[in-house]
Amino acid sequence: MADLAADIETLARWIAGSKHLVAFTGAGISTDSGIPDFRGPDGVWTRRDAGLPPPRWRVRSAELAPNVSHAALVALQELGLLRFLISQNTDNLHLRSGIRPELLAELHGNGALMRCLRCDRRYPRDAVGWDVELWGKGYRSKAQVLGQPPCPACGGRLISSVVNFGDPLPERELREAAEHAEQCDVMLVLGSSLVVNPAAALVGVALEAGAKVALINRGETPYDELVQLRSSAGIADVLPPAVARAKELVKRPPRQRVATGR
């Protein structure tokens, strides 16, 4: 408990004193919402490699909602401290939580959005009348289906914005993420095993640029010995209290000099 309290205080002071704070999230930030992660002790790939069936979701998809860790990042946004959020997740929870789209790079796409191959615009499925029952999820690797809707802006082919194995990462999002990784002075890495590149390499970019990096993840990562703060506690046990403490530090008035008459 003493180590956890110390980590929370250190993280809070880093956050409060930051000039260009960037967050980097993986599947671990969404486990408290009921979504299994991939490489955790009971993750999708961990169970697959052990010959076990996939883990069950703890909630139905219709009940899926952002959790307190998503809300903590929104609080940082509202404080004006969060400059950018890089995410490997496709669950749409960051946008649903209230993160502004211009502050977010979803490097692996978003399962709720379709993307135009020609003009790169994104649309919610409902906005373009995409019927999953008729046309499937619209992955790039699948052939077009007769009658599926085109891009309303340019008439191009709409595909799922989710990046599957073998698909290229979205160029604009990757470029923006790299720029912010180079500029940041503090990076919060939350719930990622950091083994999927090129996304994970952005943590190395931040370290090389001199940023303080806090890594909160239950499993081991290749960056464990490189970051300045490493916690294996749950993200919800660290981030929300650190943000609450940072809010106190930011709003604390400067110490007044006591008049001595001399």
Q: What is residue 249's predicted lDDT score, i.e. its pLDDT? A: 96
pLDDT top residue among 55 and 109: 109
pLDDT at 37: 59
44 has a pLDDT exceeding 80: no
**Closest-CA residue to 197 (of 185, 186, 205, 187):** 205
pLDDT at residue 47, rounded to an integer: 42
Residues of the chain with CATH 3.40.50.1220: 2-107+168-251
20: annotated active-site residue:
no
**Which residues contact residue 126 at a Cβ distance below 8 angstroms, ignoring those fewer than 6 apart?**
none
Phi, psi of 190 (to 5 degrees): -125, 105
Of residues 262 and 213, more confidence is placed in 213
> Which pLDDT belongs to residue 176?
98
pLDDT in tens, 17-37: 999 999 999 999 999 999 875
**pLDDT value at position 168?**
86
The mean per-residue pLDDT over the stretch 169-184 comes to 96
Neighbours of 97 (CB within 10 A): 18
Give Dmax (Cα) for the chain: 87
Tell me what the pLDDT averaged over the chain comes to.
89
pLDDT at residue 41, as a whole number: 57
What three-state secondary structure class fits 77? Answer: helix
Which residue, among 73, 25, 22, has the nearest Cα to 184 in the 3D structure? 22
Question: CA-CA distance, 234 to 238, in Å (whole number)?
Answer: 7
* Tens-digit pLDDT profile for residues 75-124: 999 999 999 999 999 999 999 999 999 999 999 999 999 999 999 999 99
Q: How many CB atoms lie within 10 A of CB 259?
A: 6
Q: How do residues 122-138 score in pLDDT, each as one tens digit? A: 999 999 999 999 999 89
Calculated CA dihedral for residues 176, 179, 182, 187, nearest 10 degrees = -30
Rounded distance between C-alpha atoms, residue 203 and residue 157, angstroms: 34
Query: Could you tell me what percent of the chain has a pLDDT over 70?
Result: 85
- Total-model pTM: 0.86
Find the helix or strand (DSSP H, E) in which 199 lies: none
Q: What is the CATH code for 2-107+168-251?
A: 3.40.50.1220
**DSSP percent split of the chain into helix, strand, coil, nearest 5:** 35, 15, 50
- Percent of the chain exceeding pLDDT 90 equals 76
Instruction: Tell me: cis bond preceding 198? Omega within 30 of 0 counts.
Output: yes
Q: At what angle do helices 201-208 and 171-183 cross, to 10 degrees?
A: 30
Angstrom distance (rounded) from CA 98 to CA 226: 32
pLDDT of residue 255: 56
Q: Which of 20, 70, 94, 108 is catalytic?
A: 108
- Cα 241 to Cα 106: distance, rounded to the nearest angstrom: 25
Residues 6+ apart with CB under 8 A from 150: 156, 157, 158
- Asked if residue 36 has a cis previous peptide bond (ω within 30° of 0), the answer is no
What token pair was written down for 21?
């704070």
Enter the tokens of residue 86: 């890089």
| pLDDT classification of 164: cutoffs 50, 70, 90 | confident
Tens digits of per-residue pLDDT, 212-255? 999 999 999 999 999 999 999 999 999 999 999 999 999 875 55
pLDDT at 257 over 80: no
Q: Which amino acid is at 167?
A: D
Structure tokens at 20: 């260009």
Location of structure tokens 């992660």: 37
Per-residue pLDDT at 50 exceeds 70? no
